[in-house]
Chains A and B, each alone.
Chain A
Amino acid sequence: MDMLRAIDLRFDYTYENEAPQVVLQGVDLAIEKGSFVAVLGHNGCGKSTLAKHFNALLLPTGGQVLVADMDTAHEDNTYPIRRLVGMVLQNPDNQLVSTIVEEDVAFGPENLGLPPAEIRARVDEALAAVDMTAYKDHSPHRLSGGQKQRVAIAGVLAMHPDCLLLDEPTAMLDPQGRREVLDTLCRLNREGMTVVLITHYMEEAALADRVVVMDEGRVVLDGTPRQVFAQGERLATLGLDVPQPTALCAALRQRGVDIPADLLTPEECAEAILALIQK
């Protein structure tokens, strides 16, 4: 079953006395349950707008968005959809509500009206899942960026969603914080969570099963990271880079070295080069 599905999704902002600003112009995208999808694109390509559609924060002006077969345009579906699709935003400071970590994590389940014992169990479970149990009595402003973002993820996990939607969750973090968040996401995905990661970092996209590249409100590339990043020139015209190891391989190929074009990680790249030298 498809977890998320956009069918010819169109969206434009209309202001009075102005021509409508078209943001999405016909996105067709299906995201399978349990997959890890990275969405790439330069600023203003519509990727955040797309994410907001999957959470019923925005409603399509054309086409349809289905979340677990529920139409987002239908008002009765709004809250069931938001419970199923947890959203994490860029700035961790702006999405934590309470002055105590565990009470912040409890915020979502409290809104669902669950019995207190159930909330307690979910909070403990969610904090354990992001490895923040030791900080449950802390105040969020004393935590590092990566820790805050993990608390934000726990806050969403406590609602028992089927899918995590993350809108550039690592953009404001240092390398250490980015690693913490990504490790958490990879682990959750292995445990069966559908993860949709909107990002600017190619190295993060390389971790996904599938990479979707957007440009001018359309999906322009879609495939495994290897397939997508092998098209370095195409990506460059879209204003995107390839991961550094892939770029290195591409540069070597240009000079006539026979090395595969679809290597993603530094380890793979190092092994291929080593093999070439030893040959």
Chain B
Amino acid sequence: MMKDITLGQYFPGNSLLHRIDPRMKLVLTLCFIVLVFLPQNWWGLLTVGLFLLLVIGLSRLPLRLMWRSTKPVLFLVLFTSVLNVLYVHEGVTLWKWGFIHITTGGLQSAAFIAIRIVCLILGSSLLTYTTTPTALTDAIERLLSPLKVIKVNPHELAMMMTIALRFIPTLMEETDKIMSAQKARGADMESGGLVQRVKALIPILIPLFVSSFRRAYDLAMAMECRCYQGGVGRTRMKQLRTALRDWLALLVYLAVGVGIVMLNIYFGKTLK
């Protein structure tokens, strides 16, 4: 069961989106989040939606991936939509029954929120689908490098992320092994109430902790053997270079943003 968990969500490919510099992709994703919150009317939202479809098209990812990333948040989407329907009382009342009070305004803002959340999820999952975890940590390390001024060490942060990513599958495997070993000794993990099940986890977590510390000790030694002395004086094999296309992509995002602001001004604020 543990083996099914994939690391990150990277989907290999060679599309335009895959080739954009990971740093720029991170920035573009942040830009996209802003774009999603910019529109104040349906025209703006339509622009964001169409733009997102265009980007998904450029990524050449199979559409089922998009469904896969939306599925887990459907409940959240539904929940916020229902709340909006129930609590926004504007426009024409369509239906009234006890405290339930459905208005056109409520339905509109429910749809607006739902579309926003879906766009948000799809836009940010595109980042993890088209970028390897290593490229992502690398990008974070380099984007955060100005933080050195306030004594935050981005190299150490990135190193921790890399090691965590590296050891997730190893520890998963180990958990599987320990579970089998405890089951072989008669541990019962499938029955009983919540409290009992949580208690049943203790004999799994303790050996897991002990072995993690042993691994950490070994890893530290192996890293020292390979002359690791922190980020100082370290170079990288893979250099990140921004190409013209990265800047063009940023320009496109900015243009869309400007477009939405114009639409906001032209059509006015019809939605919240």
Main SS class of interface, A: helix
Is the CB–CB distance between A55 and B235 below 8 Å?
A: no
Is the CB–CB distance between B236 and A116 below 8 Å?
A: yes
Q: Does residue A108 face the partner (Cβ distance < 8 Å to B)?
A: yes
In the bound complex, how far is the Cα of B90 from the Cα of A126, in angstroms? 69
Give which listed residue, B134, B221, B235, contacts A99 with CB less than 8 A: B134
Closest CB in chain B relative to A114 CB, distance in Å = 6
Closest CB in chain B relative to A259 CB, distance in Å = 44
User: Which residues of chain B are within 8 angstroms of A95 by Cβ–Cβ distance?
Assistant: 218-219, 222
In the bound complex, how far is the Cα of B234 from the Cα of A119, in angstroms? 12
User: Which residues of chain B are within 8 angstroms of A79 by Cβ–Cβ distance?
Assistant: 227, 229
Count of chain A residues near B, Cβ 8 A: 40
User: Which residues of chain B are within 8 angstroms of A55 by Cβ–Cβ distance?
Assistant: 225
Is the CB–CB distance between A82 and B162 below 8 Å?
A: no
Closest CB in chain B relative to A234 CB, distance in Å = 33
Closest chain B residue to A165 by CB distance? Answer: B225
Closest CB in chain A relative to B198 CB, distance in Å = 28
Closest CB in chain B relative to A148 CB, distance in Å = 10
Is the CB–CB distance between B235 and A119 below 8 Å?
A: yes
User: Which residues of chain A are within 8 angstroms of B236 by Cβ–Cβ distance?
Assistant: 106, 110, 116, 119
Is the CB–CB distance between B237 and A106 below 8 Å?
A: yes
Contact of A97 with B162 at beta-carbon distance under 8 Å, contacts A57-B221, A82-B227, A86-B225 already known: yes
Number of A-B contacts (CB under 8 A): 98
Is the CB–CB distance between A155 and B237 below 8 Å?
A: no
Q: Does residue A140 face the partner (Cβ distance < 8 Å to B)?
A: yes
The proximity string for A residues 155-167 relative to B, scoring 1 for CB distances below 8 Å and 0 otherwise, is: 1100100000000
Q: Does residue A111 face the partner (Cβ distance < 8 Å to B)?
A: yes
Contact of A107 with B226 at beta-carbon distance under 8 Å, contacts A99-B7, A99-B162 already known: yes
In the bound complex, how far is the Cα of B219 from the Cα of A93, in angstroms? 9
Is the CB–CB distance between A94 and B222 below 8 Å?
A: yes
Q: Does residue A144 face the partner (Cβ distance < 8 Å to B)?
A: no
The proximity string for A residues 52-90 relative to B, scoring 1 for CB distances below 8 Å and 0 otherwise, is: 000101000000000000000000000100110011010
In chain A, residues 150-200, which have Cβ atoms closer than 8 Å to a Cβ of chain B? 152, 155-156, 159
Q: Does residue B224 face the partner (Cβ distance < 8 Å to A)?
A: yes
In chain B, residues 165-204, which have Cβ atoms closer than 8 Å to a Cβ of chain A? 165-166, 169-170, 173
Closest CB in chain B relative to A121 CB, distance in Å = 10
User: Which residues of chain A are within 8 angstroms of B133 by Cβ–Cβ distance?
Assistant: 99
Q: Does residue B215 face the partner (Cβ distance < 8 Å to A)?
A: yes
User: Which residues of chain B are within 8 angstroms of A108 by Cβ–Cβ distance?
Assistant: 226-227
In the bound complex, how far is the Cα of B214 from the Cα of A89, in angstroms? 13
Q: Does residue A112 face the partner (Cβ distance < 8 Å to B)?
A: yes
Is the CB–CB distance between A97 and B235 below 8 Å?
A: no
Q: Does residue B247 face the partner (Cβ distance < 8 Å to A)?
A: no
Closest chain B residue to A100 by CB distance? Answer: B134
Can you name 5 A-B residue pairings with CB atoms under 8 Å? A82-B226, A94-B218, A99-B166, A111-B229, A116-B235
- 7 closest Cβ pairs, A-B complex: A95-B222, A94-B218, A106-B237, A141-B169, A108-B226, A119-B237, A87-B225
List A residues at the B interface (Cβ < 8 Å). 55, 57, 79, 82-83, 86-87, 89, 91, 93-100, 102-103, 106-116, 119-120, 123, 139-141, 152, 155-156, 159
List B residues at the A interface (Cβ < 8 Å). 7, 132-134, 162-163, 165-166, 169-170, 173, 214-215, 218-219, 221-229, 233-239
